[in-house]
Amino acid sequence: MTTASSDADTQEVHAIARTLIEALPYLRRYQGAVMVIKYGGHAMGDQTAARDFARDVVLLKQVGINPVVVHGGGPQIKAMLDRLKIPSSFVDGLRVTDEATVEVVEMVLAGKINKEIVTAIQAAGGKAVGISGKDSRLIEARKLTRTRRDPESSIEQVVDLGYVGEPERINTGLLEVFRNTDIIPVIAPVGVGEDGQTYNINADTAAGAIGGALRARKLLMLTDVRGVLDAEKRFLPTITADDARRMIAEGVISGGMIPKIETCLDAVDRGVEAAVILDGRVPHAILLELFTEHGFGTQILAASNR
């Protein structure tokens, strides 16, 4: 005789078995692959979210995948700048960075947040080494120049963003050292100029550059939205470069989502197999993306996929 509860138990066991069967081919496919995971400041959320993130990353390493974490910390930088009463402004999602600001950015990113993530990974049973783009000159950067067309005169004007950098060269040597070890690298997006100048680099941009240089299999961009949303706020499972350009021009994609999308397009153009924007606040978002048939976030398609 079966009871209602044993029926429910059987269904649950079947559901677990289905999930495992769905995951197995991906486990094999991703053996030895490098996955660059961009962990955004908004995705960090509370301690439970940080613990779940760390567990997923450790699990990837345990099953033979090579996760490389590149983190942000925009909201945490803002909180520290507010405490220090240093005003901050943004152009196209990038923080205008003067001398005082770059000092705070480095302190918060390479100091506080980087070590918090390392600690969370180690608490989840993994080994992590926290570095910034300055270590071993991992991210050589140059000053980023932006131009804007003045709407009245139509003249191109240079916008000075201060010490905002763009990656010029990624020296992957240090990361290669970690590849066949049990160590998970955790990278703060701070770059170093030729003259030793510290540059504030958008974490999405840094993750994309590192993903491209490592020929990563996937670039996962963990943020605080379900994925890319259309004008009616509907979730889009995929978007092409043309969709993205149109949506940026129409203002449907704005703020911090702009560098995110630009990074993904650049990464897939440079050979990263898939770039995905997903909600890092959802428990085990990384596992849902990598080990399920339909994935979890918005995949940005390369030109050749169109």
Ligand X SMILES: CC(=O)N[C@@H](CCC(=O)OP(=O)(O)O)C(=O)O
Ligand Y SMILES: Nc1ncnc2c1ncn2[C@@H]1O[C@H](COP(=O)(O)OP(=O)(O)O)[C@@H](O)[C@H]1O
Query: Which span sits near ligand Y by CB under 6 A: 58-66, 142-150, 151-159, 225-233?
Result: 225-233
Give 42 or 218: the residue with its C-beta nearer to ligand Y. 42
Contact flags string 41-60 toward ligand X, x per CB under 6 A: xx------------------
Contact flags string 195-214 toward ligand Y, x per CB under 6 A: ---------x----------
Residue 202 within binding range of ligand X, rule CB under 6 A: yes
91-120: b (≥16 Cβ within 10 Å) or e: ebbbbbbeeebbebbbebbbeebbebbbeb
| One-letter amino acid for residue 126 of the chain | G
| One-letter amino acid for residue 224 of the chain | D
Instruction: Name which position in 36, 40, 262, 295 contacts ligand Y (CB under 6 A).
Output: 40
For residue 146, list its beta bridge partners: 159
Residues 6+ apart with CB under 8 A from 83: none
CA distances from 100 to 103, 177, 221 (A): 5, 34, 28
164 contact choice in ligand Y, ligand X, none (CB below 5 to 8 Å, kind-dependent): ligand X
Strands (E), the chain: 34-39, 66-71, 90-91, 94-95, 127-132, 139-143, 146-149, 156-159, 165-170, 183-188, 190-192, 198-200, 218-223, 238-239, 274-279, 298-300
Instruction: Name which position in 58, 118, 141, 164 contacts ligand X (CB under 6 A).
Output: 164
Residue 256 within binding range of ligand Y, rule CB under 6 A: yes
Give 206 or 291: the residue with its C-beta nearer to ligand X. 206
Contact 264, 219 (CB under 8 A): yes
105 contact choice in ligand Y, ligand X, none (CB below 5 to 8 Å, kind-dependent): ligand X
Distance of CA 207 to the CA centre of its chain: 6
Q: What are phi and psi of 230, to 5 degrees?
A: -85, -175
Query: Which span sits near ligand Y by CB under 6 A: 4-12, 35-43, 97-105, 148-156?
Result: 35-43
Instruction: Name which position in 50, 59, 74, 175 contacts ligand Y (CB under 6 A).
Output: 74
Find out whether 95 is annotated in a ligand binding site.
yes
Residue 94 within binding range of ligand X, rule CB under 6 A: yes
CA proximity to 128, closest of 217, 44, 61: 61
73 contact choice in ligand Y, ligand X, none (CB below 5 to 8 Å, kind-dependent): ligand X
Residue 227 within binding range of ligand X, rule CB under 6 A: no
Q: What is the contact surface with ligand Y in residues (CB under 6 A)? A: 40-43, 72, 74, 204, 223-225, 228-229, 252-257, 260
Residue set of the binding site for substrate: 73-74, 95, 200
Residue set of the binding site: 73-74, 95, 200
